[in-house]
Chains A and B, each alone.
Chain A
Amino acid sequence: MIAAQIPGPSWLHSLPTRFKLLVLLVSGAVLFPVDDILILATCVGLVIGLYASLGSKGLVQLRLLRPFGFMMVFILGLHAISGTVETGVSVVLRLTAMVLMANLVSVTTRMDDMLDAVYPIFLPLKWIGGSPRKPALAVTLVIRFAPVLLNVYGCLQDAFRARTGRHSSWRLIAPLALQALKMSENVAEALTARGGSKGLSNND
């Protein structure tokens, strides 16, 4: 669940991104209707085997699934109350296999490769007069400005603490939202000054 990357290279890193996504999609669709505990347990074992094939840096990733584990225990508990423990076990195994698979794709694929791989789904934007470049531009804007907003929140916290002695308050969210909007005005102006999100070449 935590998409910290496993440092490459490995055989999984070098597989084409679209192939990995396709395998993930197909295996999800195949696993979804399966209820047999033995088959599902085998699948979990196989996926763990895939992590193991990346060596210790792959197996370390499994440890990061702890928050997911709590959720699984909770679901198993709810099934136990309903008297459907067996269904509960197969559900937990199926979810574990699917989540581990999906996580494996994420941790062995760089974000920009992932973005390139899904770029074609934005091509239809052209039909309505949009630009398929815009989603990618929006993604980079988020990556660039999320830390900036955290920094703004930190400054607000300091100012709040300097006057109240208290550490933090939900009251700071309103000025944070305001500053985000004001800053977005400046950034939009700077983007327009450089030719805008459509670009100057008009060739896409």
Chain B
Amino acid sequence: MAFWSKKHASRPEHRFDLSAATYASLENVSLKLGDRTVLDDVSVELQERRVGLIGLNGSGKSSLVRLLNGLRFPDSGTVRIFGAATTEVAPDLPRHVGFVFQNPDHQAIFPTVEEEIAFGLTQIGFDKKDARKGARAFLKLHDCDRLAELPFASLSEGQKQLICILAILVMEPQILVLDEPLTSLDGLASRLILKKLKSVEQRLVMISHDLSTLADFDRVLWLEDGKIRMDSVPGDVLPAYAADLDRRAAKAETGAHAL
């Protein structure tokens, strides 16, 4: 991205159809990183309120969710958010597709909690003062006002992830994409954050290695080697995936080749 690049000529806002039942779709999407194929001709349409993604590291889950927010673009095929191709609406994607990362320490940009929340508001056009006020109100709404002045680094892991999620929610996206948001948390914090996530009105697309967290999702996609291996309700996919893992582990040695 060159610093002389022109501002976007027209606001492509109207190309999003926010009432569409299918909020995200991939049409014959392939993606390479270097010379490794990470997604191989994947097609899928998402309509369900909560969709889980499972698969081994390197199976393509992280790349798939990054396509939804415009962090990556497909080498071939089309990714659509509310009907609009991501390549055409890239600058406006973060407004509709919020993204929560695995490690809250890598997501929070600002030294204090209030500034971190306020940043989302300045991003969508609030001035500094209103953003501060809005952030305060938003924190109070979510029963976090006592954290407002604290340095982000002083929070517990669970509080950090909660603030990262709130920092995204304050931008009021339609879709919340989460890349292993529970991995760094202890058992209790993990359950509480999950409870919080299930209480929001946003559609959720979540990657998880802890299968139990996806048990009451509406749909689960199992990715393997850049393809969708199974796509169904959690009651079918999760046991099949777990059985596959057990079978592989029983068969393999614990050397470098298997890991």
Q: Find out whether A and B make contact in their complex, taking CB atoms under 8 A apart as touching.
A: yes
Chain B 87-98 against A: per-residue CB contact (8 Å), 1 yes, 0 no?
Answer: 000011011001
Cross-chain contact A194 with B7 (CB below 8 angstroms): no
A129 at the interface (CB under 8 A from B): yes
Cross-chain contact B115 with A199 (CB below 8 angstroms): no
In chain A, what residue has the closest Cβ to B101?
A190
Which residue of the partner chain, among A128, A148, A194, contacts B119 with CB atoms under 8 Å?
A194
Cross-chain contact B71 with A128 (CB below 8 angstroms): no
A174 at the interface (CB under 8 A from B): no
Which residue of the partner chain, among A140, A148, A151, A192, contacts B71 with CB atoms under 8 Å?
A192
Cross-chain contact B125 with A203 (CB below 8 angstroms): yes
The complex places the Cα of A137 from the Cα of B95 at a distance, in Å, of 19
The dominant DSSP class at the A interface is helix
The complex places the Cα of A189 from the Cα of B122 at a distance, in Å, of 18
B152 at the interface (CB under 8 A from A): yes
Please give the number of chain A residues whose Cβ is less than 8 angstroms from any Cβ of chain B in the complex: 27
* A128, A137, A151, A192 interface centre (most CB from chain B within 10 Å): A192
Residues of B within 8 A of A194 (CB): 94, 98-99, 119-120, 123, 167-168, 171
Cross-chain contact B153 with A195 (CB below 8 angstroms): no
The complex places the Cα of A100 from the Cα of B156 at a distance, in Å, of 41
In chain B, what residue has the closest Cβ to A191?
B109
Cross-chain contact B111 with A143 (CB below 8 angstroms): yes
* A44 CB, nearest partner CB in chain B, Å: 36
The complex places the Cα of A143 from the Cα of B108 at a distance, in Å, of 12
Residues of B within 8 A of A196 (CB): 94
The complex places the Cα of A192 from the Cα of B72 at a distance, in Å, of 11
* B65 CB, nearest partner CB in chain A, Å: 10
The complex places the Cα of A196 from the Cα of B109 at a distance, in Å, of 11
Which residues of chain B from 76 to 107 have any CB-CB distance to chain A below 8 Å in the complex? 91-92, 94-95, 98-99, 101, 103, 105-107
The complex places the Cα of A191 from the Cα of B101 at a distance, in Å, of 11
Which residues of chain B from 152 to 185 have any CB-CB distance to chain A below 8 Å in the complex? 152-153, 167-168, 171
In chain A, what residue has the closest Cβ to B7?
A202
Chain A 108-146 against B: per-residue CB contact (8 Å), 1 yes, 0 no?
Answer: 000000000000000000001110000001001101100
Binding site for B on A (CB under 8 A): 128-130, 137, 140-141, 143-144, 147-148, 151, 183, 186-187, 189-196, 199-203
